[in-house]
Amino acid sequence: MTSEMLYHVKLTMVDFKNDATGALQKVDICGTYTNLAQAKTAAKSALIKSGYEETWFSVYDTRDASSEWTHGDGIFVYAKAPEGETFTVSLETTPDTLGLKGNADGKVEDKLYYVLQTTIHYNADRSGARRDTSIEGTCTNFKDAKNVAVACLLDEDVTKDSFVEFDEYSGQEDWAYGEDILVHAVGEEGENYLIAVISKP
């Protein structure tokens, strides 16, 4: 079954245990679906299917249409560990430019490469806690994902020179931004951009 849109189940962990500001964050994609209803169902069970148990958390809220939801639009699970880490499971929608097909559960079984853009709003919060991560591309091979990653901050009006700093990973040993990061850029207002490629089977 194909769809014009893809629905990605995104898991975000904020590690308040090791950094009280919330600047330590990890984002993972738990699956991509071609059916919205099936994606919502998958989102509600994603944390458990990732190896966690509900009893490990001091707070474990799952979105239910019958209850008032206070954890934000697009979020389907909010969990808090006793030592302070928080986990949210949300859905992000992107166009399906590849004609991907879902299985009986609506899940895409192809190996996918995701281009993730994290914007750190140092201009609003010097700690780095104000950040958001969005999916800028979904590809079926690393080469295409890398091409998207290198270009996703740029357009006809925005060039590499538009940034105070624009670094690309090209195999250098002293790369300071992590193994999945292909681009690091700094905007004129102090915002930092990290462009990563992660793959999921």
pLDDT, one tens digit per residue, over 37-80 is 999 999 999 999 999 999 999 999 999 866 788 888 889 999 99
Q: What is the pLDDT of residue 65?
A: 66
Flag residues of the chain having pLDDT under 70.
Answer: 1-3, 65-66
At residue 57, the pLDDT reads 95
pLDDT (0 to 100) of residue 72: 84
Angle at 46 (CA atoms; ends 39, 34), nearest 5 degrees? 20
The whole-number pLDDT of residue 118 equals 96
- Look at residue 102 in the predicted model and tell me its pLDDT: 94
CA–CA separation, 198 and 201 (whole Å): 10
- pLDDT score of 73: 85
Q: Is the pTM of this model over 0.75?
A: yes
List residues bridging with 132 in a β-sheet.
Answer: 119
pLDDT of amino acid 129: 83
Q: What residue spans define the domains of the chain?
A: 1-110, 111-201
What pLDDT does residue 21 have? 84
How far apart, in whole angstroms, are the C-alpha atoms of residue 163 and residue 183? 12
Q: Which residues pair with 198 in a beta bridge?
A: 114
